[in-house]
Amino acid sequence: MSIPLNPRTLAFQLLFFISYSVLLVTSRTLPSISIPDDSHSNSNSQVFIWPLPSNFTFGNQTLSINPDLSLAVSGNGGNSGFLADAFDRYRRIIFKHESKLRRNVNVAYDIEKISVVVHSDDQELKLGVDESYSLLLGKGNGYSIVGEVTIEANTVYGALRGMETFSQLCDFNYETKTVQVYKAPWYISDKPKFVYRGLMLDTSRHYLPIDVIKHVIESMSYAKLNVFHWHIIDEESFPLEVPTYPNLWKGAYTKWERYTVEDANEIVSYARARGINVMAEIDVPGHAESWGAGYPDLWPSPSCREPLDVSKNSTFDVISGILTDMRKIFPFGLFHLGGDEVNTDCWNYTPHVKQWLHDHNMTTKDAYQYFVLRAQELAISKGYTPVNWEETFNTFSDKLNPRTVVHNWLGPGVCPKAVAKGFKCIYSNQGVWYLDHLDIPWYEYYNADPVEGITDASKQELVLGGEVCMWSETVDASNVQQTIWPRAAAAAERLWSNPESTSVGNSTSTVLSRYQYFRCLLTRRGVQAAPATNFYARRAPTGPGSCYEQ
Amino acid sequence: MSIPLNPRTLAFQLLFFISYSVLLVTSRTLPSISIPDDSHSNSNSQVFIWPLPSNFTFGNQTLSINPDLSLAVSGNGGNSGFLADAFDRYRRIIFKHESKLRRNVNVAYDIEKISVVVHSDDQELKLGVDESYSLLLGKGNGYSIVGEVTIEANTVYGALRGMETFSQLCDFNYETKTVQVYKAPWYISDKPKFVYRGLMLDTSRHYLPIDVIKHVIESMSYAKLNVFHWHIIDEESFPLEVPTYPNLWKGAYTKWERYTVEDANEIVSYARARGINVMAEIDVPGHAESWGAGYPDLWPSPSCREPLDVSKNSTFDVISGILTDMRKIFPFGLFHLGGDEVNTDCWNYTPHVKQWLHDHNMTTKDAYQYFVLRAQELAISKGYTPVNWEETFNTFSDKLNPRTVVHNWLGPGVCPKAVAKGFKCIYSNQGVWYLDHLDIPWYEYYNADPVEGITDASKQELVLGGEVCMWSETVDASNVQQTIWPRAAAAAERLWSNPESTSVGNSTSTVLSRYQYFRCLLTRRGVQAAPATNFYARRAPTGPGSCYEQ
C-alpha cells in the first residue's frame, strides 16, 4: 500500500534534519498539566496537536508565518485541485485574524512558502489509502534551504492530513499580531494506527439539513477521522431519494426533510475533498418501517411493519434497486446493510409469511439469516463489501459471507471472536463509543482499545478500526455538533495515534489539557464543541470561565 | 427620514398590481394551524414569512426561479457592492440544492431576473435608517412586464430586508427539483414597526470566537434584527484590545480569548453588510473588575475591585481613552455605558475613597450618580449618545443627561416612566426578553409589548424598540445559538410586524406553525435553533420527529 518515498527528497529531509539537530528535543515525554495561558509556547513542552503524530521532534525557535503564504506543489499528484482547495480552506483558518488593512509588506516573515510534494497521482479514496505524511518546518539557515514548510506524502490524502497538522502548529499571537509557530523547527513523520476511523450519523430519527451534515464532515477532518458512516434511513423516516423506487422518500417526515441524489452526491464530493469516505447504510430487515410509506407491500401487514416482508421476492427487488442506485452515488467499497435488533415475532403472526416459513421449512431465525445473506449477495453483486451489525455474526457466524465486515456495538469481546473466525471487524462498543450515551465521560472514550483481547498481530490487522456512533433520538440540527464534540476527538486520537505515546494511565494529567485545547480549537473554527470536563455530555458550562478550563 | 418613492416606479407597480388583481387574495386573515407537509403551498393560506410583512397580497400561481437568476440594480444607490454581495449570499441560500450537473439550459423558468432599485446613495447605517421596501414577484403577462422579482427601497438596507423576504418566499420543490414561489403574484410593502431591534451578547462571562459572533450576526439578519449590542467586557474578563491602554486586555481569560481592534473592525463591517449596527458597551462603574488586571489602580483596593475607583481622575482618563479608541471602531451613534447593579458598599470601606466622599460631601449614591454623569459627558464629548441601564434612571432620573437612552431590564413599567420624562427608551424586560432565562416560553416573548402602558402616540415614538439579552454565564461557543434561537425570533416579529396582523390572542393556533417553520428555516441555514415547543429553552428534542412539529 505504501509507495517508497523519493530518495532525493529523503536526502533533503535528512540534510534539513541534521542542520537543526542541535536544536532538537526528542518528544513524547508529556509532562504535567499546563497552565492555559502559558501553554503552546516555547516554555512548555506540551505538544498541542490532536491527534498526536506518531513521530515528531521539535526545537525552541518561534517563527512567523507570512499571511501571504504561497503554495508550491510538486510530484506526480501535485497538480490536484484538492491541494489548492484545501490550502484555501486552511489559509482562512490560519489567518482569520489577519486584516488586509494591517498587512505590512515591509515586514520580514520567517516562513514564506508551503511546499507540498505528492508522489502518486492515484486519487482513489479507498479503504486503507496511504494517509502518511512528513512535515518539516524550519527557518532558512543561510545555505540552500529557505524558511518554509514542506509536506511530503504519497497521496493527496496524506497531504491533507499534513495540512491539518500544519494548521494546528500555527498560533495567532495577539501581541505581535502575527501567526507564529512555536518550538520550531518541527520534524513530523506521521501515519494513522487504524485505516478505518469513523463517525456514524443517523439522519432518520431527526432529519439533518445538508449544511449540518457538511459541517459535521468538516469537523471530522480536524480530528483526522476518515469515514462518515451515514445511517440514512431507519424506521422513523426515509429521507433519501431512490430514483428506481421514487415513492420510497414518501417516508420522509415532510416534503422538506429529504435528500436528493444530487444532495447525496454533493455530500460525497465534499467529504472526499477532505479525505473522508462516505459509507452509506440501509438497515435491513429491521429498522425499516418507513420504507412502507411509499410501498406498503414491503410491510408484512399493516400491523406488522417491520421486519420487511421476507416472503416476497419484490422485497429483494427493492433492495437490489436501492443498491444499484446507491452504487452510483457512494463509491466507497464498504456498504452497511444493518441487520441489528431484528424482532421477527410478527412474521409468525402474519398468515402469508407464516405460510411461507412453513413452505420453506424455516424458523423465523432461519428467515432472518436468509434475509441478511440474500441482501449481502445483492450488495456483493453490485461490487460492495457488506458490513453488518454484530447480531448477524452473533446469530449465524458460520453462514455469514466471509467478506463480511462485522460491526461491533453491543459490548466488548466481539471483535476478538470475529477476527478469530477470519472476519474483519469495526469496533463501536456502545459502553464507550456511543455518543448518544451522554453519561460516558471523555476518558472512557480515550481509554478504549479497538484491539483489546487480540494479541496476535495478524489478527489485530483484521480490526479495521473503530467508529463513534451518533444516534439521533434526541439529536437534531440544534445540538448534533455539541453531542459529537469533543468526545469524538478522544476516540479519534485513539484511532490515529500510537498507544505508547498517548498512554492511558496519565490521561488526566497530560492529555486533559491537550484535549481541552483541541475543544477550544474546534470552537474557534465554529464547531459547537461542548465543555470538556462536564460529566454529562453536551451540558452547558456551569458558570463563567475560560474555554481552556471547562 | 423617508424618501418619496419614484413616481415612475410607482406607476409600474400599480400597473403590475392591477394586471394581477383578479388573482389577488387579501391576506392577514391567518387561518387555523397548518399540516406541516401541506403548508407553504398554494392550498394553504398561511404566509411563511418571518417576521410578517406589514402589508402584502398574494395569488395562487406557482412560479419557478431560474437558478442562474440575474441581478439588475438601478437607482442612485444601485451600484453598491452591498447589493451584489448580499445577492451572492442569498443565491447560496436559495439555490443550495441546485447542482451544476443537473442544470438544463433548455428548461424555461418563470422568473429569470431580480431587479433591485435603490433610490438613495446614502449608505450611512444610522439609527432610524429607512428599512422599508416593496417587493413585487410575478410572471410576465405577455405585454411589457417579463417575469421577475422587483425590490424597491429608499436605501440599500431596505433592499437587504427585501432580499431576505424574497429568500423566504423561495422554496425548493424536491419533486420538480426547482426553486419555486407559491401563491404568486406577490406584492409586499413592508417596513419595521420599531427602529431599534436588538440582540445583546455578553462576551465576558464566556469568550466567543469571532466566527461565532459573525454567525450570530448572520442569523440576526434572517429575523431582520438590526442592532448587535456587544456587551464586550464585564467583571469576569476584558477581551478587547484598547490601544491607548494596552494592558487592559490582560484581563482576558487567556492570551487566546481576545479581540484585536482589527477583529472588532471586521465584526462591525460584517454586521454593516447585513444592515446591522454594532452598539458597544463598557459597563461602568460596576461590572468592571477585570479592568484592574492590567491597571490595578482602577480598583479602589485589592479587596474592593469594583465599582471602579470614583475618587481618581485617572479612572476617567481610562474611560476617556477607551471611548476615544471605541469611536474609531464603532461608528453607530449609540454607545452603552452600563451603570447597572452598582453595589457601592466597599467604596465606604476603602479609606481613600471614604475620605474623598467626605471631602466632596457625597454619599456613595451621590458618587454613583457623579460617576455615571461624568462618563456620560465623556461619551457625549466623543460624539456618542449614551445608553444606560435603567438603574441610572431609577436612581437619579432628574440629573440624567436628557439625551440618555434608558435601557429597561428589571421589569415592566419603566419605559412609560422614562418617556413621560422625555427620555428615549429600549425595552428588555427580563421577565419576557432575557434569553438566559430558560423558563420563558416563546409565546411570552411573542406577547410582549414594548409600548405597553404608553397610550400617547408621541410618547410611544420615544420607545426606540427593544432587545433580547443573551447573558453568558452558562452560554459559550457550544450553545449560544441554541439559547438565542428560536425565541429571539418571537421578539423579532414583535419588533418588526404590525401588532394587528400578528395578534396575540391566537398565537398558538396561527403563529406556532409559522414560528416552527422559521425555526426549521434557521436550521436549514446552519443555525442551531433549538426545538420550538419544549418548555425550557435549548433543550434537546425529547424523541424522534419532524423539525416542523418539535
Mind listing the pLDDT tens digit for each residue in A153-169? 999 999 999 999 999 99
Distance from CA of A434 to the nearest CA of B (A): 17
- pLDDT at residue B141 in the model: 65
Give yes or no: residues A31 and A164 share one domain: yes
Dihedral sign for Cα atoms in the order B78, B84, B89, B93: positive
Residues from chain B contacting residue A96 (CB–CB below 8 Å):
210-211
A85 and A164 both lie in a single domain: yes
Q: Which chain B residue lies closest to A247 (C-alpha atoms)?
A: B175
C-alpha angle B306-B311-B315 in degrees, rounded to nearest 5: 65
DSSP for residue A304: B
Of all residues in chain A, the one with the smallest CA distance to B102 is A262
d(CA B17, nearest CA chain A) in Å: 31
Is residue B227 helix, strand or coil?
strand
Calculate how close chain A gets to B431, using CA atoms only, in Å.
21
Type and span of the H or E element at A366: helix A364-381
Distance CA B131, CA B129 (A): 6
* Identity of residue A63: L
Q: Give the number of residues written for chain B.
A: 550
Residue A33 has pLDDT above 50, yes or no: no
Domain end point (choices A467, A485, A505): A505
Q: Are residues A339 and A467 in the same domain?
A: no
Per annotation, catalytic residue among A112, A257, A341, A461: A341
What pLDDT shows up at residue B300?
A: 97
Cis, bond preceding A67 (omega within 30 deg of 0): no
Report the share of chain A in percent with pLDDT over 70.
88
Q: Grid coordinates in use for A252?
A: 420522509
pLDDT at position A141 = 65
- Give the other-Cβ count within 10 Å of B535's Cβ: 10
Per-residue CA distances from B542 to A435, B55, B522, B533 (Å):
16, 38, 20, 10
Domain stop point among B165, B190, B215: B190
- Grid cell, residue A432, equals 464507550
Interval A375-427: pLDDT, tens: 999 999 999 999 999 999 999 999 999 999 999 999 999 999 999 999 999 99
Subunit contact B478:A538, Cβ cutoff 8 A:
yes
Pairwise pLDDT comparison (A503 vs B86), residue with the higher score: B86
d(CA B467, CA A212) in angstroms, rounded, equals 28
Interface test with A, best of B34, B219, B250, B255 (most A CBs within 10 A): B255
- Whether residue B537 lies inside any domain: the answer is no
DSSP classification of residue B511: I
- Find the closest chain A residue to B476 by CA distance: A541
- CB–CB of A255 and B473 under 8 A? no
**Is pLDDT at A198 greater than 60 in this prediction?**
yes
In this predicted structure, what is the pLDDT of residue B4?
40
In terms of domains, do B43 and B16 share one?
Answer: yes
> Whole domain around residue A345: which residue ranges?
284-403
What is the domain-level CATH number for residue B183?
3.30.379.10
Structural domain contains residue A381: yes
Residue A45: the pLDDT is 67
Which cell numbers hold the place of B532? 420550538
Whether pLDDT at A18 is above 60: no
- Copy the grid coordinates of residue A335: 456498504
Question: Which of these, A477, A274, A23, lies nearest to B527 by C-alpha position?
Answer: A477
Lowest mean pLDDT among A99-103, A200-204, B122-126: A99-103
In this prediction, residue A123 carries a pLDDT of: 94
Q: Which residues of B touch A37 (CB under 8 A)?
A: 254-255
The Cβ of residue B527 has, within 10 Å, a number of other Cβ atoms equal to 25
Whether the complex's predicted ipTM is more than 0.90 is answered with yes
Average pLDDT over residues A500-513: 70
Strands A227-231 and A196-202: what pairing? Answer: parallel
Taking contacts as CB-CB distances below 8 angstroms, the residues of chain A near B241 are 174
Identify the burial level of B159 via C-beta atoms within 10 angstroms of its C-beta, where 0-12 means exposed, 13-18 middle and 19 or more buried: buried
Q: What is the mean pLDDT of residues A171-193?
A: 95
| Domain end residue (candidates: A190, A224, A240) | A190
Q: Which residues of A touch B546 (CB under 8 A)?
A: 207, 237, 253-254, 257
Give the span between the Cα atoms of A262 and A267, in whole angstroms. 9
A273 and A294 both lie in a single domain: no
Nearest of B387, B411, B456 to residue B198 by alpha carbon = B387
Under the banding of pLDDT at 50, 70 and 90, the label for residue A248 is very high
Is A408 in contact with A429 (CB distance < 8 Å)? Answer: yes
Give the phi and the psi of residue A470 in degrees, each rounded to 5.
-110, 85
- Pair (B447, B482) in one structural domain: yes
Q: Is residue B443 part of a domain?
A: yes
Q: How far is B142 from chain A (nearest CA, A)?
A: 33
The whole-angstrom distance between B441's CA and the closest CA on chain A is 17
Q: What is the pLDDT along chain B (550 residues), one digit of tens a residue?
A: 333 444 444 444 444 444 433 333 333 333 333 344 445 566 566 889 999 999 999 999 999 999 999 999 999 988 778 899 999 999 999 999 876 555 666 778 999 999 999 999 999 999 999 999 999 999 876 554 568 899 999 999 999 999 999 999 999 999 999 999 999 999 999 999 999 999 999 999 999 999 999 999 999 999 999 999 999 999 999 999 999 999 999 999 999 999 999 999 999 999 999 999 999 999 999 999 999 999 999 999 999 999 999 999 999 999 999 999 999 999 999 999 999 999 999 999 999 999 999 999 999 999 999 999 999 999 999 999 999 999 999 999 999 999 999 999 999 999 999 999 999 999 999 999 999 999 999 999 999 999 999 999 999 999 999 999 999 999 999 999 999 999 999 999 999 998 877 765 555 568 999 999 999 999 999 999 999 999 999 999 999 999 999 9
Interface contact A260-B174, CB threshold 8 A: yes
The rounded mean pLDDT for chain A is 90
Q: Return the closest-CA partner of residue B270 out of B329, B223, B190.
A: B329
Q: What angle, 0 to 180 degrees and rounded to 10, lies between the N-to-C axes of helices A512-524 and A487-496? A: 110
CB contact under 8 A, B523 and A478: yes
For the residues A25-48, what does the mean pLDDT come to? 49
Query: Are B55 and B152 within one domain?
Result: yes
B63 & B104 share domain: yes
Q: What local confidence, expressed as pLDDT, does residue A79 receive?
A: 79
Q: Please list the active-site residues of B.
A: 341
Please answer yes or no on whether B266 and A540 come within 8 Å at the CB atom: no
DSSP-derived letter for residue A6 is P
Region A271-297: what's the mean pLDDT? Answer: 97
Report the pLDDT value the prediction gives residue A36, as an integer from 0 to 100: 45
A–B: how many Cβ contacts below 8 A? 195
A26: Cβ–Cβ under 8 A, 6 or more apart, which residues? A57
Specify the CATH number for the domain of residue A250: 3.20.20.80
For residue B92, the model assigns a pLDDT of 95
**Residue B438 belongs to a domain:** yes
Residues A111-124: what's their mean pLDDT?
95
A445-480 residue pLDDT tens: 999 999 999 999 999 999 999 999 999 999 999 999
Strands B227-231 and B196-202: parallel
Which of B210, B473, B530 is facing A478, going by the closest CB pair? Answer: B530
Tell me, what's the pLDDT at B509? 65
The answer to whether B378 and B326 have CB atoms below 8 angstroms apart is no
Does A527 reside within a domain?
no
Least confident range from A106-115, A189-198, A224-233: namely A106-115
Q: Based on the fold, state whether residues B158 and B76 are members of the same structural domain.
A: yes
User: Does A497 reside within a domain?
Assistant: yes
Select the residue of A205, A263, A545 nearest B97 (Cβ to Cβ).
Answer: A263
The answer to whether the Cβ–Cβ distance between A209 and B526 falls below 8 Å is yes
Same domain, A11 and A71: yes
Band of pLDDT at residue A100, cut at 50, 70 and 90:
low
Number of domains in chain A: 3
Give the closest-approach CA distance of A395 to chain B in angstroms. Answer: 29
pLDDT class of A34 with cuts at 50, 70, 90 = very low
**Same domain flag for A473 and A353:** no
Mean pLDDT of A112-116: 95
Query: Looking at residue B177, what is its pLDDT?
Result: 93
Name the residue of chain A whose CA is nearest to B525's CA: A211
- A170 HSE (CA, 13 A, CB side): 27
CB contact under 8 A, A523 and B212: yes
Closest partner CB to B541 (pick from A476, A481, A528): A476
Cβ within 8 Å, pair A544-B472: yes
Residue A335: the pLDDT is 98
Closest chain A residue to B237 measured between Cα atoms? A545
A213 in the same domain as A186: no
- Tell me, what's the pLDDT at B279? 98
Question: Taking CB atoms and an 8 Å limit, are B260 and A177 in contact across chains?
Answer: yes
CB contact under 8 A, B205 and A482: no
Do the domain assignments include residue A418? Answer: no
As a whole number of Å, the end-to-end CA separation of chain B is 42
pTM above 0.90, yes or no: yes
The answer to whether residue A143 sits within a structural domain is yes
